Amino acid sequence: MPDYLYERGQSVTFTTRRFTGPVWSGSFLITKLLPSGGQEPRYEIKRIEEAYSRVALESELTARSDVFQSTQL
């Protein structure tokens, strides 16, 4: 199992570039540490105002200093 840089409940910024589109960035909360499948660590992340979650690679995340309340999930 890989070493995870971030913890469940931690506030992160997710930044990615999908296909040829523009760079996208936003604030998320880590909800789950996922198996890496032999690659870099993966995380399930969620925005408080969204009903769904997404999967992000560790290289797409940076730590945030502001903290979401986990009770808002």
Domain ranges for the chain: 11-64
Q: Report the C-alpha gap between 1 and 39 in whole angstroms.
A: 10
Q: Report the C-alpha gap between 42 and 2 in whole angstroms.
A: 10
pTM: 0.76
Per-residue pLDDT at 71:
44
pLDDT > 60? residue 70? no
Mean pLDDT over 17-44 rounds to: 85
Provide the pLDDT confidence category of residue 66 given band limits of 50, 70 and 90. Answer: low
Length of the chain: 73
Angle at 4 between CA 1 and CA 9, to 5 degrees: 125
